[in-house]
Copies of this chain bind each other. A is one copy, B any other.
Amino acid sequence: MSDTSNIAAAPTILLIRPQMAENIGAAARAMRNFGLEELRLVAPRQGWPHPKAAAMATSAVEILDRAALFDDSRAAVADIQHLYATTARPRDMDKRVVTPRQAMQEIRDVMARGERAALMFGPERTGLENDDVVMAQAIISIPTAPDHASLNVAQALVVVAYEWFLAAGDAPPPAARACESGHAPASQFEIQGLFDHLEAELDHCDFFKSAAKKPNMWQNLRNLFLKASLSEQDVRTLRGVIRALRDGPRG
C-alpha cells in the first residue's frame, strides 16, 4: 500500500473489483474535478496498472499513479473509520440509508475531527456485494427515477464527488465570476442621459403616435432597458446604436 499520509483531508474512494479500466480512469478524472485525491483499487478485473485507465484519466493520471492496490476489500478499508457504500439496489439490511448530500455533510464533519472516511463503489454490472455493503456504516443512495436507478460507476462517482466539493465549501460563489466583462454598472446619470437621448429621438420620429399613449409606452420601454442592469459600456453602445439608426448610411 502506498504512503497516503500527506494527502489533504478528503474522503478516500474505493473501487471494488472494477471491470473496465476506462472506468477507473474516468473515476480519477471526476475525483480531480471535485477535489478528491486518494484512490484505492480492489482487484481490478483487467489488471493494474492499465493503459486504458491512464488514457481516460487525462490530467488526473497522478491519482492513478498514487492509487493503492488491494486483493480484497476488507484489507482496503482497514484504517477507515467512516465507511459508506454507494448502491442503487435495495438491500434487506438494517442499515441507515442517506442521500449523497447528507453523506458528504457527515463526512465533512467527521474529517474536521481528524477521522478517516471512505466511499465504496462496486463493479459496473452487479454493484457491491452484500459482503462489502455489510462493512459500511451507511448506504448512500443517489436519488433517481425509480425505474432507472442504475448509474454507471463513474457517473455515480460524479454525483457523490460533486456533493463532496459543495460540502467541503471550496466552491467559489458564481457571483464572484458573474461580471466578467469588467465594466462598471451605469450610474443613474448615465441612464437618464440615455433615456433623454432616446426619448428625444423617438419624439422626433413620432414613435409614440399620441400624447395619451406616450406615458405608458415610455415607461414600458424604460423598464425594458432597466431590466438589463446596464453597464457604462452598455449605455455608450446603446447611444451609438440610436445615433447610427437615426443618421442612416453615411454620406
* Cβ-defined contact, A143 with B166, below 8 A: yes
Determine which residue in A92, A141, A152, A166 has the highest number of CB atoms from chain B within 10 A of its CB, and name it: A152
User: Are the C-beta atoms of A152 and B202 separated by less than 8 Å?
Assistant: no
Across the interface, which residues of B come within 8 angstroms of A174, CB to CB? 97-99, 102, 141
Oligomeric state, in copies: 2
Chain A interface: which size bin?
35 or more
Interface residues of A, Cβ cutoff 8 Å to B: 26, 29-30, 32-35, 59-60, 90-99, 102, 141-146, 148-152, 154-155, 158-159, 162, 165-166, 169-172, 174-175, 177-181, 183, 198, 201-202, 204-207, 217, 220-221, 223-225, 227-231, 233-234, 237-238, 240-242, 244-250
Q: A143-B172, A158-B158, A245-B242 are in contact. Are A149 and B93 (CB under 8 A)?
A: no
Residue of B nearest to A88 (CB): B33
> Residue of B at shortest CB range from A148?
B32
Please tell me which one of the listed residues B204, B224, B225 contacts residue A248 in the complex, with CB atoms under 8 A apart: B204
A145: chain B residues within 8 A (beta carbon): 32-35, 165, 170
A92 touches B148 (CB 8 A): no
- Contact among B183, B217, B227, B249 for A205, CB-based, below 8 A: B249
Cross-chain pairs A/B with CB under 8 angstroms, 21 sampled:
A29-B155, A33-B144, A33-B145, A33-B155, A94-B181, A94-B234, A97-B174, A141-B174, A143-B170, A143-B172, A144-B165, A145-B165, A162-B162, A181-B220, A201-B245, A202-B245, A204-B249, A205-B247, A205-B248, A224-B228, A227-B227
